Structure 1
Amino acid sequence: MNQFPMTARGAELLRDELEQLKTVKRPAIIEAIAEAREHGDLKENAEYHAAREEQGFCEGRIQEIEAKLSNVQIIDVTKMANNGKVIFGSTVTILNTETDDEVTYRIVGDDEADIKKNQISVNSPIARGLIGKELDDVANIQTPGGTVEFEIIEVEYI
């Protein structure tokens, strides 16, 4: 079985979503199906078909989350000594050596990745180029525009 690396926060968010799906969304869908059934002929009952489709999505997501949580490997960097090495869960500030642009990323699991929050997947090209490097190292990262050189200027375990 593949283990899914995840931050403690990411696992908590998945558990919250699972709880919401099971206790709020699932009962609401069941109620919508029962209500639509009362409208008679199911063949041409759009509400019934929409509710059944939504039920399929909901049950699929519940199964997906349960599978991930059963194989989750929670990595909590806040409990580790910061040795300056870029690892899963760390927050890394890098400097583009050509443009002097600074950007900070947190390296997280696929489910947690959100570029708007500067959280990048451990499987992204940037994260792969940074993992294993240390503070003050230079990383050459393949981007769509070619190879870009970044200097690691800060590594935080927060």
Structure 2
Amino acid sequence: MTQSTEPAAIWLAQSAFDQLTAHLEDLKGPQRQAIVAEISAARDEGDLKENGGYHAAREAQGRLEGEIQQLEALLRQADTTEPADDGVVGLGKVVTFKFEGDDDDEAETRLIASIEMKDFAGGLEISSAASPIGAALLGAGVGDTVSYEGPNGRTLKVEVLKVTPFEG
């Protein structure tokens, strides 16, 4: 059996894709130019062996280039296709669920790719597909009950009540 070397697609909301693309352009343009200018100015100061400013600027350049490479790879893998309204939990979906034994409270979470977590501010709780609850919910449908291990080591069960595509 041949395994694919193609990386898996990562679902991103179009707004997140646009933000990451703009950030990448900033890194490749103004930020890269600023570091090149810092390196040049430090180089003009003379002896590079004893020049802390030069070495700091070169380290900053390495970090910047690494971030550029990571963002380029992420954006190559990105899938901004609107999620289907099929009632199945997947990335880009809003999931309403309740914990087993808790008849009163329903919870809602948006299942996303973890890169979006730091920028999302829409009032919904956010779960990464890589988190224990996210991984358990992935692929479940309305009416399904799934289990996962909670932070305290106990097995938790949740029932999926509703699944809709995220709009925003």
Same fold flag (TM > 0.5): yes
Aligned alpha-carbon RMSD (Å): 2.2
Number of residue pairs the alignment of both structures matches: 155
Mark the CA change 1:149 to 1:116 in structure 2 (over 3 Å): closer, same or farther. Answer: farther
In the other structure, the counterpart of 1:61 is: 67
User: What's the offset of the Cα at 1:157?
Assistant: 0.8
Q: Confirm whether residue 39 of structure 1 aligns to residue 45 of structure 2.
A: yes
Is the partner of 2:30 in helix, strand or coil?
helix
Distance 1:20 1:147 in 2: 45
1:93, 1:152 within 8 Å by CA — same for their partners in 2?
yes
- The 5-angstrom pairing of residues 114-133 of structure 1 reads 114=118, 118-133=125-140
- The 5-angstrom pairing of residues 63-78 of structure 1 reads 63-77=69-83
Mark the CA change 1:143 to 1:115 in structure 2 (over 3 Å): closer, same or farther. Answer: farther
Distance 1:153 1:115 in 2: 27
Gaps of 5+ in 2: 1-5
Amino acid at match of 1:5: I
Q: Confirm whether residue 16 of structure 1 aligns to residue 32 of structure 2.
A: no
Mark the CA change 1:103 to 1:51 in structure 2 (over 3 Å): closer, same or farther. Answer: farther
1:114, 1:120 within 8 Å by CA — same for their partners in 2?
no
User: What's the offset of the Cα at 1:39?
Assistant: 1.7
In the other structure, the counterpart of 2:144 is: 137
Gaps of 5+ in 1: none
1:75, 1:89 within 8 Å by CA — same for their partners in 2?
no
User: What's the offset of the Cα at 1:57?
Assistant: 0.6
Amino acid at match of 1:91: V
- The 5-angstrom pairing of residues 90-129 of structure 1 reads 90-99=93-102, 100-114=104-118, 118-129=125-136
Q: 2:86 aligns with which of 83, 86, 110?
A: 83
In the other structure, the counterpart of 2:10 is: 5
Is the partner of 1:48 in helix, strand or coil?
helix
User: What's the offset of the Cα at 1:121?
Assistant: 2.1
Mark the CA change 1:46 to 1:131 in structure 2 (over 3 Å): closer, same or farther. Answer: same
Mark the CA change 1:114 to 1:96 in structure 2 (over 3 Å): closer, same or farther. Answer: farther
In the other structure, the counterpart of 1:157 is: 165
Mark the CA change 1:29 to 1:115 in structure 2 (over 3 Å): closer, same or farther. Answer: closer
Calculate the TM-score normalised by the size of structure 2. 0.79
Q: Percent identity?
A: 34
Distance 1:130 1:21 in 2: 36
